[in-house]
Amino acid sequence: MRLRHVAAARLGEGFAARLTAGLAVVLALTAHAHGAQAADNIETSAPVDTSATPQPASKWKIALGPGVVVTPLYPGARELRVFPYPALDISYDERVFSQGPDVLGLNVLRADDYHVGAALSFDFQSRHEKDDPHLHGLGDVDGGPKLKLFADYSVWMFTGSVAMYQDIAGHGQGKTVVSDLYASVPAGGWLFSAGPGFTWADALYTRTFFGVSSRQSAASGLPAYDVGAGIRDVHLNGYVSHDFSKHCVASVAMTFGRLQHYAAASPVTERRSELNMLASVNYRF
């Protein structure tokens, strides 16, 4: 499963932060002007205590809470599976982070408008023969860790992102590349993000999840099916979050996808449409 809400949330929050910062600057300048004018009309003023020094803001940002994941039982499955998930959003100096399926990540290059980095990410995609009689004879495919390389760039309310996932556990999940375009709009305590994207998969990934070898064909009764690299799916992302208070925020991230090419025509595939969702309620410390 490729949960994309993390990028949308981070980038959307960046856009909202820039907008809020701009308004704050305007208000601060206005307040300063009024304050200066008022000061000119005062002949005397009380001594100012300059002994207190402001405390620097913490570089840590920590939010955690319960979450729930909805994802296909396996790629191309007719059924969905639902399971609880600990929703983490932890970062230090906006450099090191742990967010969603990205267990540990690093923004190697970062600025207000872009991020470039790497992460150790956990992918929930798996398939087991016990999941469905349709899979008998195809063998099991386990989920596991993947190396993620990513980059994103924002212009005004729009953000483009690309991420490559490489299987590092030897589970035959190969390499996938996900490219997305988001438009993010803050409204009060709400944040809305949406946009299209697509996923490219290499031949190893496609063969593992959608191919049927001659041996598998003999064991399962499905026709043999040769595959190669290509577009795995096209999809539409949606993300909504709401700040109920300074400390409490709820969010829902959804991806509606449609399998393409080799994945769509595979005898393993029972449904071309896909739904992935993560809903969570986090407490900010």
What is the fold, at CATH topology level, of the domain defined by 5-27+60-284?
Answer: Lipocalin (2.40.128)
Domain ranges of the chain: 5-27+60-284
pLDDT at 56: 77
Q: What is the pTM of this model?
A: 0.81
SS3 assignment for the chain: CCCCHHHHHHHHHHHHHHHHHHHHHHHHHHHHHHHHHHHHCCCCCCCCCCCCCCCCCCCEEEEEEEEEEEEECCCCCCCEEEEEEEEEEEEECCCEEEECCEEEEEEEEECCCEEEEEEEEEECCCECHHHCHHHCCCCCECCEEEEEEEEEEEECCEEEEEEEEEECCCCCCCEEEEEEEEEEEEECCEEEEEEEEEEEECHHHHHHHHCECHHHHHHHCCCCECCCCEEEEEEEEEEEEEECCCCEEEEEEEEEEEECHHHHHCCCCCCCEEEEEEEEEEEEC
pLDDT at 52: 55
pLDDT digits (tens, 9 = 90+) for 33-51: 344 443 344 344 445 454 5
pLDDT at 54: 67
Q: What percent of the chain has pLDDT over 90?
A: 77
Mean pLDDT (whole number) for 199-224 = 97
Question: Does residue 212 carry a pLDDT above 60?
Answer: yes
Q: What is the phi/psi pair of residue 109, to 5°?
A: -120, 135
Question: Does residue 174 carry a pLDDT above 50?
Answer: yes
pLDDT digits (tens, 9 = 90+) for 108-141: 999 999 999 999 999 989 999 999 999 999 999 9
Rounded-to-integer distance, Cα 285 and Cα 274, Å? 35
User: Of 275, 270, 216, 279, which is closest to residue 242 (Cα–Cα)?
Assistant: 279
pLDDT digits (tens, 9 = 90+) for 34-93: 444 433 443 444 454 545 566 678 999 999 999 999 999 999 999 999 999 999 999 999
Alpha carbons within 13 A on the beta-carbon side of 184: 32
- Give Cβ neighbours of residue 149 (< 8 Å, ≥ 6 apart): 117, 118, 163, 164, 166
pLDDT at 53: 64
Q: Which residue has the higher pLDDT, 31 or 98?
A: 98
